[in-house]
Amino acid sequence: MIELNDLDTESVQYAISEVNRSESSLTIRIHGNGGGDITATRQFIDALESSSRRICLEFEGYAISSAAILFYWFKLNPHTSIRLSLPKGRCVFVFHRPRFICNSYVMFEENLIGSRKAALKEQTEYCDALFDRIFPDVCRDTHEDPKTGVWLHETSMARKAYYAGYDVVQTVFDANIT
State the pLDDT at residue 82: 95
Q: How confident is the model at residue 145, as a pLDDT?
A: 59
Given this model, what pLDDT does residue 151 score? Answer: 55
pLDDT tens sequence across 82-96:
999 998 888 998 989
Which pTM value belongs to this model? Answer: 0.86
Confidence band, pLDDT 50/70/90 cuts, at residue 23: confident
Tens-digit pLDDT profile for residues 30-82? 988 878 899 999 999 999 999 989 999 999 999 999 999 999 999 989 999 99
Other beta carbons less than 10 A from residue 178's beta carbon: 8
111 CB contacts (<8 Å, ≥6 apart)? Answer: none
Q: Give the start-to-end residue ranges of the domains of the chain.
A: 2-176
Euclidean distance between CA atoms 65 and 75, whole angstroms = 15
User: Pick from 123, 125, 126, 134: which is nearest to 159 by CA?
Assistant: 134
Are 63 and 95 within 8 A, CB to CB? no
pLDDT at 154 over 60: no
Q: Considering the domain 2-176, what is its CATH architecture?
A: Alpha-Beta Complex (3.90)
116-149 per-position pLDDT tens digit: 898 899 999 999 999 988 877 655 545 555 676 6
